[in-house]
Amino acid sequence: MRRLLFALAFILLVASTWIGLTQGQIVPVQRNILYAHVPNSVCALLCFVVLLVASIGYLIAGRQAWDLAAVASAEAGLVFATILNATGMLFSRAEWNVWWTASPRLVTSAILWFLYAVYLILRASLPGSQYRRARICAVFGIIAFLDVPLVFVSARFIPDIHRPNFSFDSPWQSAALMLGMAGAAILAAALIWLRTSLLRSGVELENQLRQ
């Protein structure tokens, strides 16, 4: 089932790239990066939503599966946020001739990356029982999420050098983007699933070794 998801994501992403590079090309050429950039940015945010839901779930239910899902989504989120910022910087250099500028959207993307990074560092540094560690990480996840929307929501409604709405002139272009979105979302789900089960195996192994 998981392999199927990875295969599906791969096919969708290849199809998106194929259409984007053939029928759906955008002029000037550097704007084609949006086929990679937009799906990744959506996934970076989706992972944060998963992180929030898993954190709340852990605090309510106290089941370890929630905690592992939160870590897995933070790890996946860090990957997507890294790609988001890297592709964004490439585009920015080509389009605006600077690698980075303090535009609201760029700042919030950087903050997103930092939040994921600090979540994982916090998790790695907390000693003591796994319950205490999981609780503290859940608290950080919730506070971080409360912190971010205020910024993201306000960033949507302000004039920005970063274009929020693109108008496509051919259905091929929107098809390529939609395929990319679907592929990246499935990839994110598969990655979170894979990491959750790997983490669970790690915990089970530890428990067996301890006995």
Partner 1 sequence: MRALWPGLRAIIIKDIVVELRARQVLPTMVVLGMLIVFILRMAAEPGSTTIGGAVMGVAALWIAFLFSGLLAQERSFAAEQQNGCMDGLLLAPLDAGTIYLAKLLANVIMLTIFEVIVVPIAVISFNLHIAGGWLRLVAVLLLGNLGISSIGTLFSAAVQLTRTRGSLLSIVVLVILMPMMIPATFALLVLFGAMPEEAQNLASVRGSGTLTFVGSFKAAIGYMLAFDAVFVVASWLLFGVVVEE
Residues that bind partner 1 (CB under 8 A): 59, 101-104, 107-108, 111, 114-115, 118, 121-122, 125-128, 132, 135-136, 138-140, 142-144, 146-148, 150-151, 154-155, 158-161
Closest CA to 34 of 152, 174, 149, 171: 174
Complex with partner 1: residue 100 or 172, whichever CB lies closer: 100
How far apart CA 37 and CA 164 sit, in angstroms, is 12
Smallest gap from residue 17 Cβ to partner 1 (A): 31
Smallest gap from residue 133 Cβ to partner 1 (A): 10
How far apart CA 120 and CA 146 sit, in angstroms, is 18
Smallest gap from residue 162 Cβ to partner 1 (A): 9
Complex with partner 1: residue 100 or 193, whichever CB lies closer: 100
Tokens matching residue 20: 């984007």
Complex with partner 1: residue 2 or 163, whichever CB lies closer: 163
Complex with partner 1: residue 154 or 201, whichever CB lies closer: 154
Complex with partner 1: residue 21 or 121, whichever CB lies closer: 121
Smallest gap from residue 121 Cβ to partner 1 (A): 7
Smallest gap from residue 124 Cβ to partner 1 (A): 10
Q: Using the CB atoms, write b or e for 86-114: b if 16+ within 10 Å.
A: ebbeebbeeeeeeeeeebbbbebbbbbbe
Helix and strand element counts for the chain (H, E)? 6, 0
How many other CB atoms are there within 10 angstroms of residue 10's CB atom? 14
Smallest gap from residue 117 Cβ to partner 1 (A): 8
Complex with partner 1: residue 136 or 185, whichever CB lies closer: 136
Tokens matching residue 121: 């560092």
Side chain identity at residue 4, one-letter code: L
| Residue labelled with tokens 């919030």 | 108
How far apart CA 64 and CA 67 sit, in angstroms, is 5
